[in-house]
Amino acid sequence: MALGPPQGFEDGISSDVSVLVYMLILVIGLLIAFAGRVVWRHLMSFIGALIGGILGFVIGTAVGGVLIGLFASMLCAIIGSFVFVFLAEIGLGVVAGLFTYFVVLGLVESEIVALILAAMALALTIVFIEQALGVVTAVIGGLLVGLGALWLEWIDMTMVVIVMLAVMVFGAAVQLTAISDKGEERRRATVSASAAAGGPAAPMMPGRACPTCGGPLEYVPEYNRYYCYRCQRYE
């Protein structure tokens, strides 16, 4: 089966327009591969807000007029935004679970093992949803890039596959690195806030002596300070 453009797509349009469409698919693929996690959340949030706002306006107007409809529209838009993001995350976990189930069932032919691993895949996907989104969107983006490159016919099939795989790998790496950096920033912010609340920061200096008695000081991480057991006080 040929992997060319949909049958009849290029009928009635110029070659320049078709090239622009294929290039747009390629660019969208790159965007999804390297920033799909962020784009996906905004998209789901927008769709949920749009649907919730329309439903809220229709129901509110029918119940209490236009003013009530506008208020209900804003409220339902906020609720719909959060609900759609949540349901999409659950849906991704379900898809991962079903995929794992059928793959394992085809390999080991044991429904119990397949169900156990599917449940684990579902749970892990939901727990590590950020990482899962990064990997999934990188794969989808890579497929779109490969499709756009194939339809543009600028390179042969072997190079299309290489480019597609490269986009998947590097896209996933970039998104996972961004998630890791974000977590590190949060950790540093938490440590800084704890240090500020517990008193002035004290660097870890092994062998530091108490200025009062000359005895050894012990660093206490919980308070980010040094303690002298002889004087029974913090320095």
| Among 102, 88, 92, residue whose Cα is nearest residue 123 | 92
d(CA 207, CA 93): 51
Tell me the C-alpha distance between 52 and 70, whole Å.
12
Q: What does the mean pLDDT of the chain come to?
A: 82
Contacts of 188 (CB under 8 A, 6+ apart): none
- Domain spans, the chain: 16-198, 199-235
What's the confidence (pLDDT) of residue 233? 78
Of 103, 85, 90, 96, the closest CA to residue 120 belongs to: 96
Whole-number Å distance between alpha carbons of 178 and 78: 27
pLDDT at 186 over 90: no
Residue 198 pLDDT class (50, 70, 90 cuts)? low
Edge-to-edge order in the sheet of strand 233-234: 218-220, 225-228, 233-234
pTM of the model: 0.63
